[in-house]
Amino acid sequence: MQKITPFLWYDGQAEEAAQLYTSLFKNSTIGKISRYPPGVPGQEGKVMSVEFTLDGQEFIALNGGPHYSFTPAVSMFIRCETQEEVDKLWDALSAGGQQDRCGWLKDKFGLSWQVVPNGLQELLQDQDREKAQRAAAAMMKMDKLDIRVLEEAAKG
C-alpha cells in the first residue's frame, strides 16, 4: 500500500472518471467501490467512493457533491514516451473538456492534466540558453505539445 494517495472530489462523476482514466493507462484497474449507507449525507445506495489504480499509482475518487471543484493549481503530470502517446492521451482527456497552452488541459470533469513528451525538460534546461529559449518560445505557442516541432525550434 502506498503511503500517499491522491484523493479526488467529484460532484457525482467519480465512477465515470475512474472508468475513463483506467481505460487510458496500462496497469490500471478499478478496485473497491463503496456506496452511501443509510443515515449519512448523500443518496443512499449511490456510489460514494471509487478506489482505482493508474499505471500502478493508487487514487481515491469521492462523489462529495458540488461544494468543491478542481482548479489548475493541482494537476496530473503525464510523462509520455512517444508523440503517439501524447496524441492519444491529449485527445481522450480533452474530449468534452478544455484545451489550454503548454500541454495543459481540463478533462470533462474539470481535473487538470499536463500531457508532456519525454525530452521536453531537457530542451528547456539545455546548457545552450538560446536553444532553451527557442524551445520555450515554441512551447508557449502550443496547446498540445509536439516534440518534433519543439526539437526543430530548439535547433533554430
Per-residue pLDDT of 51-88, as tens digits, reads 999 999 999 999 999 999 999 999 999 999 999 999 99
- The predicted model gives 18-29 an average pLDDT of 98
pTM: 0.93
Spell out the residues 6+ positions from residue 63 whose beta carbon is closer than 8 angstroms to its own: 10, 11, 12, 13, 14, 15, 42, 46, 47, 48, 49
β-pairing, 112-117 with 57-63? Answer: unpaired
Same domain, 18 and 61: yes
**101 pLDDT higher than 90:** yes
How many Å apart are CA 30 and CA 140, to the nearest integer?
Answer: 36
Same domain, 54 and 91: no
Same domain, 105 and 52: no
Same domain, 32 and 74: no
Give the whole-number percent of the chain exceeding pLDDT 70.
100
Same domain, 35 and 18: yes
Same domain, 121 and 89: yes
- The predicted model gives 124-149 an average pLDDT of 97
Which H or E run contains 124?
A: helix 120-124
Which pLDDT score, from 0 to 100, does residue 52 have?
98
Q: State the residue range of the domain holding 93.
A: 70-156
Same domain, 75 and 36: no
- The predicted model gives 26-31 an average pLDDT of 97
Strand order through the sheet with 7-10? 7-10, 57-63, 47-54, 29-35
Computed over every residue of the chain, the mean pLDDT equals 96
Which pLDDT score, from 0 to 100, does residue 43 have?
87
β-pairing, 75-80 with 98-99? Answer: unpaired
Residue 93: give its domain's CATH number: 3.10.180.10
Same domain, 18 and 37: yes
Which pLDDT score, from 0 to 100, does residue 42 have?
80
Which pLDDT score, from 0 to 100, does residue 122 have?
95
Same domain, 78 and 110: yes
**94 pLDDT higher than 90:** yes
Which pLDDT score, from 0 to 100, does residue 45 have?
92
Q: Give the distance from CA 60 to its chain's centroid.
A: 14
**1 pLDDT higher than 80:** no
Same domain, 26 and 44: yes
Residue that terminates a domain, selected from 48, 66, 84: 66
- The predicted model gives 106-114 an average pLDDT of 98
Count of structural domains, the chain? 2
